[in-house]
Structure 1
Amino acid sequence: MDIYEDIRKGERGAWVSITAYILLSALKLVSGFFFASSALLADGFNNLTDIVASIAVLVGLKISQKPPDSDHAYGHFRAETVAALVASFIMATVGIQVIVDAVRSLAAGEHTEPDIRSAFIALACAVAMGGVYWYNRRLAKQINNQALMAAAKDNLSDALVSIGAAVGIIGAQFGLPWLDGVAALVVGLLICKTAWDIFRQSTHDLTDGFDEKELGDLRSTIARTSGVEGIKDLKARVHGNHVLVDVVIEVDPQLTVTQSHQISDRVEERMRKLRNVMHVHVHIEPKEP
């Protein structure tokens, strides 16, 4: 399995997102300004943060392709996670600014009726972003890339944000001009929520957090391996899109060193058949009577 080749494929998805966000953010910001739509402007600023986030993912993917060296024995795969963490701070800053502007506009009673054409632009952008989501989701599943799958989920949330902006704009056409500002507020909150989700997952991974259900699945796989009498300890941590496993197994104390080593090899082989498990360290101890 060429893990670096999969990462290079993931770069394509990042470039698709960057290109789409550049085009759509420019269209939304210009249209939002000329058509006096706060919701469309907020959506455009949301896409600007997505450009930064996608670039961060791209940079992380490139750095993670660097081979192991004396300072990084396991490689540089966590560069993706660090880049996502930085992107979350940038997204949160912009999201807070959008919220502040929307609240200030609502409090001051600055209600303008946006041009109905801005609603059609928002809906067209939602369809385009839905296509980007479909492409990145399919590619992420194909290469089992969690970072790209997270980017795909962000694409989907952006499509939903554009639909929400369109709803606010259309509502303003029916005598509810304040609805456009409310839609901008909701967009700001969604930006902050996305930033929080990325921050929470990134910090969880960087502090060696690991999903308990996945750990249970790993334990079951090891326990079913021929020759394993028990499991004294099992640890796992996320390294980029891959998993590092440390396990202490118990075997029959009457076995020879060679036989015990063969059991260890079987455990490692079964673990590596799980696509995202990159490294397995097995320690063997005799089964206590």
Structure 2
Amino acid sequence: MTQYDDIKQGEKGAWVSISAYVVLSVLKLGAGYWFLSGALVADGYNNLTDIIASVAVLIGLKISQKPPDKDHPYGHFRAETISALVASFIMATVGVQVLISAGKSLMEGSQHTPDMITAWIALLSAAGMGGVYLYNSRLARRINNSALMAASKDNLSDALVSIGAAVGIIGAQFGLPWLDPVAALAVGIIICKTAWDIFYSSTHALTDGFDEKELETLQATIAKTKGVHAIKDIKARVHGSNVLIDVIVQVDPELSLIESHRISDDIERRMGRKHNIMSVHVHVEPLDGHPKLPQSQS
């Protein structure tokens, strides 16, 4: 199965999320307004933003399947990241609106005791989103798709948000009506936090940022490749769900071109086998006095 086939598989998870969010947002918004639950309304708006985010992931996955062309020699994989960035702005806008609405309700003292049915709807939604999380997380691990894995984490946070909304609604039944708008505030904060996390990770990837600890792990794997005496330079960047690596290794200057090429092939195989990284550009140079790295058999 190629990486394009994996991306195609990831579309199933996006469609599962979209279907669940459409049903839940309609149910929550309708019941929340009808039975006077600000927490459930806020949770419904949270699911509306998730529809947009899931659609963005789906569009990104579809564009990512386009093969490389003259203008995009590395392919179109970054479409996933750009779609996620757009979704983060939309989510932040909705999150701020939820915070303003809940804040006004608290300041004006216009809290109402919502009907207990809204709590059951919130708990049912939490169970449903828990199921969607399990499906998407397993699929994401199987096809190694970072965009779908991020979506599954959002599914889990949505389940927790619904549980929080249920807690606020149940608390209001015991003479604490202010707990409902407080729960709505908490939902708004979670929406904004999720938007910020997506924005940060997207911009970090689009500006070729890369986690230093992960880079050290990749470097250690290359350093243990038989025949590598030193690593002169290594760079990595995220390209959609893929990682691209450029590395300069130093080898015994007495080696032939064929032997040096074999070391490059070994590095590429190790990175694919241990880290599922298929795009590794290896440049080989003769050792120029650098201390040797300890060798180990691969």
Whether the TM-score (by the shorter chain) exceeds 0.5 is yes
1:81 aligns with 2:81: yes
Map of 2:160 onto structure 1:
160
Contact 2:268–2:278, Cα closer than 8 Å, also in 1: no
Aligned-pair RMSD on alpha carbons?
0.9
The number of equivalent residue pairs is 289
Cα distance between partner residues in 2 of 1:134 and 1:262? 42
Deviation digits for residues 163-206 of structure 1 (CA, Å, limit 9, x no counterpart): 11111111111111111111111100000000001111111111
State the SS of the aligned residue for 1:285: strand
Task: Name the aligned partner's letter for residue 202 of structure 2.
Answer: S
User: Counterparts in 2 of 1:21-60, with a 5 A limit?
Assistant: 21-60=21-60
Task: Name the aligned partner's letter for residue 207 of structure 1.
Answer: T
Cα distance between partner residues in 1 of 2:258 and 2:135? 49
Map of 2:2 onto structure 1:
2
TM-score (norm 2): 0.95
Shift of 1:274: 3.8
Map of 1:281 onto structure 2:
281
Map of 1:223 onto structure 2:
223
Shift of 1:275: 5.1
Deviation digits for residues 201-246 of structure 1 (CA, Å, limit 9, x no counterpart): 1111111111112111111111111111110001111111111010
Shift of 1:258: 1.9
Cα distance between partner residues in 1 of 2:74 and 2:207? 16
Map of 1:201 onto structure 2:
201
- Give ranges in structure 1 of 5+ residues lacking alignment: none
Cα distance between partner residues in 2 of 1:260 and 1:185? 61
Shift of 1:272: 2.4
User: Counterparts in 2 of 1:90-105, with a 5 A limit?
Assistant: 90-105=90-105
Task: Name the aligned partner's letter for residue 185 of structure 1.
Answer: L
Deviation digits for residues 96-126 of structure 1 (CA, Å, limit 9, x no counterpart): 0000011011111111110011101110111
Cα distance between partner residues in 2 of 1:283 and 1:167? 58
Contact 1:241–1:276, Cα closer than 8 Å, also in 2: no
TM-score (norm 1): 0.98
Map of 1:247 onto structure 2:
247
State the SS of the aligned residue for 2:246: strand
Map of 2:292 onto structure 1:
none
Cα distance between partner residues in 1 of 2:127 and 2:262? 54
State the SS of the aligned residue for 1:277: coil
Cα distance between partner residues in 2 of 1:223 and 1:205? 25
Map of 1:259 onto structure 2:
259
Q: 4+ runs of 1 displaced by more than 4 Å?
A: none
Give % identity: 68
Contact 2:102–2:185, Cα closer than 8 Å, also in 1: yes
1:107 aligns with 2:107: yes
Cα distance between partner residues in 1 of 2:102 and 2:270? 54
